[in-house]
Amino acid sequence: GMGGLGKTTLAKKLYHSSDVKNKFECCAWVSVSQDYQFQYLLLRIIKSFNIISSAEEGGLENKSEEDLERCLYKSLQGKTYLMVLDDVWRKVDWENLRRAFPDNKNGSRVIITTRNREVAERSDEKTYVHKLRFLRGDESWLLFCEKAFRGTNREKGLEKLGREMVEKCDGLPLALKV
């Protein structure tokens, strides 16, 4: 979905939920974005999982992409893991990364947030795509009030102006928060 719909916010809520975290032996969160070096991204993922010793970690800086992929794969093999790849822009980015994640058939999960429908539907029969929608009018108003008034009583004179602002935001959560 488009920027500002709440993809990262939803993923963060899941990622930080103790109910979710308790189901996995190791968890990692990495923002991918448009500009990245594959080798550096693999390095960040390995470090984020926190599953190798400091001594091993120091030796990773000079490893090739293939060695880093192998290291990540071996480190995750047999473990239940949760990986969040936030802000993936291109299908090829996921295709390059997926080799490094073993399918342990034990409930391990990779969550990808993306604006690109092609990335979300990445031709994998086990893929579940959760498409976020714009907020309805009542939901938009509640979010606006929560952010604008922070639980304090709102002035009656400002309600008309507030409702006009909410309407202009067209149900986009980020616009309502800003």
Q: Are residues 96 and 142 in the same domain?
A: no
Asked if residue 25 is part of any domain, the answer here is yes
**Which domain CATH number covers 95?**
3.40.50.300
Q: Are residues 48 and 104 in the same domain?
A: yes
Task: Provide the pLDDT for residue 119.
Answer: 66
For 110-147, the pLDDT digits (tens) are: 888 887 777 666 646 566 666 766 677 777 777 777 77
Q: Are residues 104 and 31 in the same domain?
A: yes
Asked if residue 127 is part of any domain, the answer here is no
Q: Are residues 13 and 80 in the same domain?
A: yes
Tokens 């990986």 label which residue?
A: 83
Q: Are residues 114 and 155 in the same domain?
A: no
Q: Are residues 108 and 161 in the same domain?
A: no
Q: Are residues 67 and 115 in the same domain?
A: yes
Instruction: Give the separation between CA 7 and CA 97, rounded to whole angstroms.
Output: 20
Six-digit token pair at 160?
């008309």
Q: Are residues 69 and 143 in the same domain?
A: no
Residues of the chain above pLDDT 90, percent: 31
Q: Are residues 19 and 86 in the same domain?
A: yes
For 52-63, the pLDDT digits (tens) are: 777 677 778 888
Domain stops at, among 73, 90, 120? 120
Six-digit token pair at 155?
């002035």
Domain of residue 99: give its range: 7-120
Instruction: Give the separation between CA 67 and CA 150, rounded to whole angstroms.
Output: 50
Asked if residue 82 is part of any domain, the answer here is yes
Q: Are residues 97 and 149 in the same domain?
A: no
Task: Provide the pLDDT for residue 138.
Answer: 79
Instruction: pLDDT band for 154, please (50, 70, 90 cuts).
Output: low
For 36-75, the pLDDT digits (tens) are: 789 999 999 999 998 877 767 777 888 899 999 999 999 9
CA dihedral 74, 79, 84, 90 (to 10 degrees): 40
Q: Are residues 48 and 114 in the same domain?
A: yes
Q: Are residues 78 and 16 in the same domain?
A: yes
Number of domains in the chain: 2
With a cut of 60, say whether residue 1 has pLDDT above it.
Answer: no
Residues of the chain above pLDDT 70, percent: 79
